[in-house]
Amino acid sequence: MEPAVVDAGSKLFKYNHALPECDPEVIPTQMQRIPADESLTDSSSLESVTIDPVVRGFIRDWDAMEDLLSHVLYTGLGWEIGNEGQILFTDPLATPKAVREQLVQLMFEKFNISGFFASEQAVLSLYALGRISGCTVDIGHGKMDIASVIEGAVQHISSRRFEIGGLDLTNLFAQELRMSNPHVNLSISDVEKLKEQYSCCAEDEAAYRRFLQGCPEEQHTLPDGQVIKIGKERYTVGEALFQPSILGLEAHGIAEQLVRCISTVSTENHRQLLENTVLCGGTACMTGFEDRFQKEAAVSSAIRPCLVKAPEYMPDNVTRHSAWVGGAILAKVVFPQNQHLTKADYDEHGPSVIHRKCF
């Protein structure tokens, strides 16, 4: 049985057997649960409760995560109870030690797996595109990670985690749309779809300011028949990444943040890092984002960053799930070469063994 690879994001849960040529299965991470009420015999009369097992990239509700993993492993991947296989998890940047230990404890004690490994998403995203050194800019649903990696190891002193992501951009887009369309009732799911369809990046800050003064409007008909206008709002989402003040944050823009992170490592590595930059996450696929990112980074650095593209034989959308693809590649190495954690390792050393074998 092939090892399983799991990338548990705040919005999307990606999993499949470790076959790099295949796409991961993708399901929502968010769950709906009907609370138990022994006084009622008809559970259909109870309202479901929304549960987020993963918040800002980190597991927060362990009971919900256990339920989700049980569904994925036994139903989705066809594992059999008593014959569980091996599993590789992707780790967000700066995952707390306690979270890593609780995860390995869950996997060995609740699921009785035969082998475990975890690796940081920044490293895996580079592996997916055939690199072992470089930079990753990963814009997730609930967080943004900027990391530099040298020879397969994250340089934590020159990496940064920001608790803003696609969710915050969606809320910003919703705010802008409601100001322009005050009489239209927009659900958050409507806004999410509109953001993915319409949002884009202006060429530079000057172009963005011109769009604020005047921008052609388009009409969009919602599924319920309501019609909304979309104009300058489409540029706000992208601009917020380069001007965080739009989100009410006092911070440098995303491209300048990358250059500042790299400046903390030795100068001989600057070129290698900037010339192997990988953009990850659905937000990074926004129209115009790559061009704006390179332009902004070039202003802040004497070295022009080069964005690594997926090889022609790989799907165009690989950057949306590059950490999972890299995990599938790594799983084909660590498990056959017995570099993973075994049940014997866990029984002898306890959950803290993860910090010695998965770093």
Residue 103 counted as domain residue: yes
> Looking at the domain assignment, is residue 308 inside a domain?
no
Confidence at 120, pLDDT banded by 50, 70, 90 = very high
Q: Cα dihedral angle (277, 283, 287, 288), rounded to 10 degrees? A: -40
CA 333 vs CA 1, 88, 89, 120, 143: distances in Å: 15, 11, 14, 16, 29
The pLDDT tens digits for 245-282 are 999 999 999 999 999 999 888 888 999 999 999 999 98
Same-domain pairing of 86 and 223: no
Across 157-186, average pLDDT:
93
In a domain, 268, yes or no: yes
Q: Is residue 290 part of a domain?
A: yes
Q: Is residue 310 part of a domain?
A: no
Question: Where among 228, 244, 260 does a domain terminate?
Answer: 244
- The model's pTM is 0.92
Q: Say whether both 57 and 186 belong to one domain.
A: no
Label residue 20 by pLDDT band (50, 70, 90).
confident
pLDDT at 177 over 70: yes
Q: What is the per-residue pLDDT for 47?
A: 72
Q: Which residues contact 224 (CB under 8 A, 6 or more apart)?
A: none
19 and 117 both lie in a single domain: yes
Decide if pLDDT at 315 tops 90. no
Whether 62 and 9 share a structural domain: yes
25 in Cβ contact with 14 (< 8 Å): yes
Q: How many CA atoms lie within 13 A of 49 on its CB side?
A: 10
Tell me if 347 is assigned to some domain.
Answer: yes
pLDDT at 304: 79
| Whether 75 and 191 share a structural domain | no
Residue type at 292 in one-letter notation:
R
Share of the chain above pLDDT 90, in %: 76
pLDDT, averaged across the chain: 91
Residue 305 located in a structural domain:
no
Same-domain check for residues 220 and 261:
no
Q: Which residue, 244, 265, 285, sits at the end of a domain?
A: 244
Is residue 35's pLDDT more than 80? no
Name the residue type at position 237. V
Tens digit of pLDDT for each residue in 325-339? 999 999 999 999 999
Q: Which domain holds residue 285?
A: 128-164+252-300
pLDDT on residue 43:
52
Q: What is the CATH number of the domain that holds 179?
A: 3.90.640.10
Shared domain check, 48 and 106: yes
112 and 15 within one domain: yes
The answer to whether 120 and 147 have CB atoms below 8 angstroms apart is yes
Contact present, 155 and 218 (Cβ < 8 Å):
no
Residue 234 belongs to some domain of the structure:
yes
User: Do residues 67 and 49 make contact, with C-beta atoms less than 8 angstroms apart?
Assistant: no
Burial of 195 (0-12, 13-18, 19+ CB in 10 A): buried
Cα separations in angstroms, 98 against 64, 95, 342: 17, 8, 19
pLDDT at residue number 311: 75
197 and 238: one domain?
yes
pLDDT at 316: 66
142, 77: one domain: no
51-100 confidence digits (pLDDT tens): 999 999 999 999 999 999 999 999 999 999 999 999 999 999 999 999 99
| CATH number reported for the structural domain that contains residue 92 in this entry | 3.30.420.40
| Number of structural domains in the chain | 3
> 264 and 151 in one domain?
yes
- Specify whether 139 is located in the same domain as 272: yes
